[in-house]
Chain A
């Protein structure tokens, strides 16, 4: 799975953690802040956070599947999201197998 994400356009770093485990800092802060904002805004379950500047960071939430953190060059949001959506069933299955 990591290889599939790493092969994605612009991705320099890919990380998978369990959905209830914290991400390394500062991505964990980003995730916590985003979850808080989503809860405050009442938009429902948060699925995706994308931060873009000189570099870009995306965190995908698909419980019970693992959280996926991608970091790399900006401009690859579509490709990152497409890759995550395409592999979402396998991610879910991985979580089920782990459970």
Chain B
């Protein structure tokens, strides 16, 4: 399985994967061999490779595993090709938001521009959606949502009154905004108030503020991100399907594929939050835009995507690009055209109104140019969705064999800086190396030039020496020529002087000639002499001419030699100058080479030092991490120990309090016991005296003999104790027991009053003195009467009380059952969104059966509200949710009918327990009142109605009774033993009929009626007794 990342701008530079990338953000795709799909990707941020994504047989893998897989694949492959494309930082952030787990270190995700922050994205949704998301998160203990200081909603458990907390949260967020503004920080972000017991997250957007109470140590950044992702795209009340509010019109013009694409480009560039609508009123088709990105289509007439796009690109209609305020309720939920995806939308735009393939290709190219990245992002999302499940590891850094350690952002930042610095130093070293090579080349060239200059200098010197020799020869020639010129000049002077002398001689000879004209001989001699002298003169003149020419020639050659000498001197000086320049250049070059070498050595030393520092830093970081892990483990141990100690201290404190309470209680008990002991001693003394007096009292004797009747209360009391042990309030039962004891006490008291009606003590004393036998009979008869009355009355009273208590216990059990069901229903109502405070209040009262009518009434109201909500929202749910809610509604209606059937709502509840709670009278009292009252039940003997005794009873009463006076003998005979046995049998039958709880009261009442009849008959017979 392979995946292509959204396209970016191609990077046409050679890549060195071992160092920093030449582009800032983007990705490097690995192509192996001739495969047509990429084998993996390196994600680059800030020139650094921060994420890895590799294709394997099992699917896509990212992070450290992806890095290992991709490196292994590249190492095994013969031919690997890397192609880089660059993104903007925002595009990189969009990609990383889809697959954050491909990043090796979570720190590299910090600071990415992800549009609106998670707090703003979360708070842009409706309150119900926000609260539902927070309520479902296990880390969230409670939360409040506040609008300008007023509570909007709350969920979970919050420490205190929600209204006060709302004001506090709003004040705190205002303070935060003030501080952030003062410090030059943006308003985005959140506050975390961390304590060892818990943390509070405070975030705000516009007028809304959110306070979230979480467990201690909760990562609020992740929580906000998680919440924002959870509510994004979820079905909420963000907008209504098919409804788009009007907004500010940014662009308006004729529609058409090109116009739509142009407006989409504008929307993308302007990050428009709104819609691109065509038409108005009943025929409206629009593209919903969130941050310039189409998210859905709204159409009032089209049912499919193609129809909607065809309608959208109708050139006869007007297209408007609307910009909405950020609080407008639009989103994915606003769209009502199914099947919208960016790819399908682009294909529809390209093909809806195009006839040729070229036109389609052109439109598609334009669409991809605008939204190509988003299309790639859209197709990337489903493929990398599973990578998010492993996002837990992005906070960890694997360091060798050591367990995964949480890396500190500071260390990561320092490492990144060190890598950047190292890369800069390496680049600087490479530049210096290049400069060094250039300097070396320059040095080589300088050496060559030096050698050439030296050779030129030698040649120049040779030429100089040759020129010097020529100059010397020329000088010699000049000297010779000068000497010859001087000689010629001297000769010329001599010749001039000779000429002058000859001329003088000629003049003289001419004079002599004139004198000797007459002498012809001497004339011829003179003529020959003159001819000789003329020849001599011509020869001298020719020599003179020749010497003059030679002198001129010598002078010319002398001038040429001097010019040649100056030329040679100039060449020599130029050669010297060139040599000096070459030497100087060589020295400069050698200095530069030496400086470059020194600089290179320094750079290499600095690189070594930087590497050493980086190694040291890594080592220190590793040691710090190890030390910190040890410290963390120690801190965890200490915290655990502290918790244990605190828990023990708490237990000890509780034990101490309990012990103190026990000691105080024991002291009170001791005091009470001492007082009671003294009182008991006095009571014992008094009892001793009373016992002596009471031996003659019939009531005391009767009680002493028939006290076992009270034992019938034993099982009821056991059931009472069992009910108390269930944890429910037994206040009503306690009151019922007290009332029952009062009834029994009343019965006993009234039975004790009988002797006073029979005979007074004075009469008995007088009778005992005068007629001892009669007194004995009267005393025995009195004793028997009291005994019988006490026995029957007490048995009846105890029976009634036991029945009443059992009825009350049954009602109590039913009430407890109803409370349990009500509690379950309240929990369901809480999950259905009923007000939590009311639910909590009702839940807290579910331990008190006496509060069942109130709880039932409140629960009925909540159930009705919940049923109304369920019925109102029935059409908004899918099939599964509807079935679940139908079951819930059925259960609620069943409980509602039970509550109404039990009479717990809308009136007085039926049952003995509620009658007793209302009147304070036991059911038997209420049923027999006022005739069942103890005082009415006891009648004087003389007022008792006469009754005919049964014949068999009269016979049976004769034998056991002592002789009685005449008046008493006129009574029908009484068979006391038989009567008592019959009554006991009837009572036993009644007890047997009542023994299984829950049988009808009718059987018991029939038995009681029979017993009452027999007892009335007995009293009637005794009432005729006359003394």
Contact residues of A with B, CB < 8 Å?
3-4, 6-7, 9, 75, 77-79, 81-83, 85-87, 89-90, 92-93, 96
Contact = CB atoms under 8 A, between A and B. Distances in A.
Contact of A93 (B126, B128, B246, B869): B246
Contact of A9 (B153, B166, B208): B153
B979 interface: no
27 contacts: A3-B872, A9-B153, A9-B835, A75-B151, A77-B150, A78-B148, A78-B149, A78-B151, A78-B152, A78-B166, A79-B151, A79-B152, A82-B127, A82-B145, A82-B208, A83-B127, A86-B126, A86-B127, A86-B327, A87-B329, A89-B324, A89-B329, A90-B239, A92-B245, A93-B243, A93-B245, A96-B246
Contact of A75 (B127, B149, B163, B237): B163
A83 B208 CA distance: 12
A78 B328 CA distance: 19
B653 interface: no
Contacts of A92: 245
Contacts of A79: 127, 151-153
Interface residues of B, number: 29
Contacts of A7: 128, 869
Contacts of A3: 872
Contacts of A90: 239-240, 243, 245, 329
Contact of B147 (A4, A9, A85): A85
B103 interface: no
A86 B329 contact: yes
Counting from the closest, the 9 A-B pairs by CB-CB distance are A78-B150, A93-B245, A82-B152, A78-B152, A78-B151, A82-B147, A89-B245, A79-B152, A89-B328
B147 A78 contact: yes
Contacts of A85: 147, 327
Nearest to B330: A89
A29 to B, nearest CB: 25
Interface in B145-168: 145-153, 163, 166
Contacts of A87: 329
Give the residue among A77, A82, A85 with the most B Cβ atoms within 10 A.
Answer: A82
A54 B180 CA distance: 41
Interface in B304-338: 324-325, 327-329
Nearest to B876: A3
B446 to A, nearest CB: 81
Nearest to B207: A85
Interface in B915-950: none
A87 B240 CA distance: 10
A88 B623 CA distance: 59
Given A77-B150, A86-B126, 5 more contacts: A4-B237, A78-B152, A79-B152, A82-B152, A89-B245
A6 B145 CA distance: 19
Contact of A78 (B146, B246, B324, B329): B146
Contacts of A93: 243, 245-246
A79 B163 CA distance: 12
Contacts of B328: 89
B151 A89 contact: no
Interface of B: 126-128, 145-153, 163, 166, 208, 237, 239-240, 243, 245-246, 324-325, 327-329, 835, 869, 872
B275 to A, nearest CB: 12
Contacts, number: 54
A6 B149 CA distance: 23
Contacts of B237: 4
A79 B243 CA distance: 24
A85 B328 CA distance: 10
A76 B653 CA distance: 43
A31 to B, nearest CB: 21
B447 to A, nearest CB: 84
B149 to A, nearest CB: 8
Nearest to B126: A86
A3 B869 CA distance: 10
A89 B146 CA distance: 21
A84 to B, nearest CB: 10
Nearest to B865: A12
Contacts of B145: 82
Contacts of A96: 246
A24 to B, nearest CB: 22
B598 to A, nearest CB: 72
A79 B144 CA distance: 11
B964 to A, nearest CB: 77
B150 A81 contact: yes
Contacts of B208: 82
A96 B322 CA distance: 16
Contact of A81 (B147, B324, B325): B147
A89 B166 contact: no
A78 B208 CA distance: 10
Contacts of B240: 90
A72 to B, nearest CB: 11
Nearest to A1: B240
Contacts of A9: 153, 835
Nearest to B144: A78
A89 to B, nearest CB: 5
Contacts of B835: 9
A82 B239 CA distance: 15
A8 to B, nearest CB: 9
Contacts of B869: 7
B139 to A, nearest CB: 24
B918 to A, nearest CB: 27
A87 B239 CA distance: 9
Contacts of B149: 78
Contacts of A81: 147-148, 150
Contacts of B325: 89
Contacts of A6: 872
Contacts of B329: 86-87, 89-90
A78 B127 CA distance: 11
A7 B868 CA distance: 11
Nearest to A77: B150
A87 B835 CA distance: 23
A82 B206 CA distance: 12
Give the residue among A75, A77, A79, A93 with the most B Cβ atoms within 10 A.
Answer: A79
B534 to A, nearest CB: 146
A11 to B, nearest CB: 11
B870 to A, nearest CB: 12
A51 to B, nearest CB: 15
A40 to B, nearest CB: 25
Give the residue among A3, A9, A78, A81 with the most B Cβ atoms within 10 A.
Answer: A78
A92 to B, nearest CB: 7
A6 B868 CA distance: 11
Contacts of B146: 78
A80 B239 CA distance: 18
B419 to A, nearest CB: 48
A6 B147 CA distance: 19
A85 B147 CA distance: 10
A89 B322 CA distance: 14
Contacts of A75: 151, 163
A7 B126 CA distance: 12
A97 to B, nearest CB: 9
A85 B124 CA distance: 12
Contacts of B153: 9, 79
B969 to A, nearest CB: 80
B833 to A, nearest CB: 9
B289 to A, nearest CB: 16
A76 to B, nearest CB: 8
A43 to B, nearest CB: 17
Contacts of B152: 78-79, 82
A77 B325 CA distance: 24
A75 B153 CA distance: 10
Contacts of B239: 90
A92 B329 CA distance: 12
A87 B245 CA distance: 11
A48 B869 CA distance: 27
Contacts of A83: 127
